[in-house]
Amino acid sequence: MRADDPAIRWIEEPKLGLSGKMYLPLIFQGLTTTARHLVGPKRTVSFPEQRPNIADPLIYRGVHRLNRDQEGRVKCVACFLCATACPAHCIDIVAAESPWPDREKYPEHFVIDELRCIFCGMCEEACPVDAIELTSLFDLTGRTREEMFFDKEKLLSVFDQTKDAEPPKSAGLPPLQRPEEEHHS
């Protein structure tokens, strides 16, 4: 590109006064800024002793949980929408005939591979019954790969752990009223 290319827009530098041209006043101005930060409050969170303040747990994407309904049953209806939406293919569901009259299916097995999960929150978006949700727990660890496969019981226990601090996001909504299904071919 040539220096006289009309596409180049030359910007005029702000004019410096005498004190600016003498450099030293500006150096001292800069030093006061640096010194202010030297003694100012620090932003670092000393992690294990001090927990970070998660501003809005509602939109934080941490470990998953499987919500329970009012009767303590798993809310999931094994529709596979989350497993389909998952870009990392980390959700594995085995559906079975529901023992309860209000739904057709329920998950017999529901396993999330937390090591494979990218915590994108698509499963939460996809879920039609608000059964799967992401909590604000972020420091999950394990000693083996097997430990990091979270099964249905584990995911439900995450719900039990977090339900007081983070009520289910659909808690205020009435239970889903399903119109009588018409089969579309």
Partner 1 sequence: MLELAAIALVKVVILSFGLLTAAAYLVLLERRVAAWVQDRRGPNRVGIPLTSIRLFGLGQPLADGLKFIFKEEFTPSHVDRWMYTLAPISILATALAVFAVIPFGDVLTLGGERTIELVVAPGFDAGAIYVFALSSLAVYGVILGGWASNNKYSLLGGLRSSAQLIAYELPLSLGLLGVVVVTGTLRLDEVIRTQANEGIWFAFAQPLGLIVFVIASFAEAARLPFDLPEAEQELVGGYHTEYSGIRLLMYLVAEFMHMITASFLIVILFLGGWHFWGLTDAAAWGIEGEAVPLWLGVVRIVVLMAKVFVVILFFMLTRWTWPRFRFDQLMNLAWKVMLPLGIANVVMMAVVAEFEVPLTDRLGRGGVIGLTWVGTLLTLIVAALLVPLHSDNRRRSIEPDLFGTS
Can you tell me which of 6, 9, 34, 179 binds partner 1, judged by CB under 8 A? 34
Cα separations in angstroms, 162 against 15, 69, 73, 165, 173: 59, 14, 16, 5, 19
Burial zone of 105 (CB within 10 Å; 0-12 exposed, 13-18 middle, 19+ buried) = middle
**Which letter does DSSP use for residue 115 in this model?**
T
Tell me if 129 sits within 8 A of 77, measured CB to CB: yes
7 belongs to the binding site for partner 1 (CB under 8 A): no
Which CB atom, from 27 or from 55, has the smaller least distance to partner 1?
A: 27
| Site for partner 1 contains 1 (CB under 8 A) | yes
**Residues in the chain, total:** 185
44 binds partner 1 (CB under 8 A): yes
Which one of the spans 43-51, 92-100, 108-116, 137-145 is the region binding partner 1 (CB under 8 A)?
A: 43-51
Residue closer to partner 1, measured from CB, 44 or 177: 44
Q: Are strands 91-97 and 149-150 parallel, antiparallel or unpaired?
A: unpaired
Applying CB under 8 A, which of residues 7, 9, 42, 181 lies at the interface with partner 1? 42
- Give the binding site for partner 1 (CB under 8 A): 1-4, 10, 13, 16, 18, 21-24, 27, 30-31, 33-35, 37-44, 46
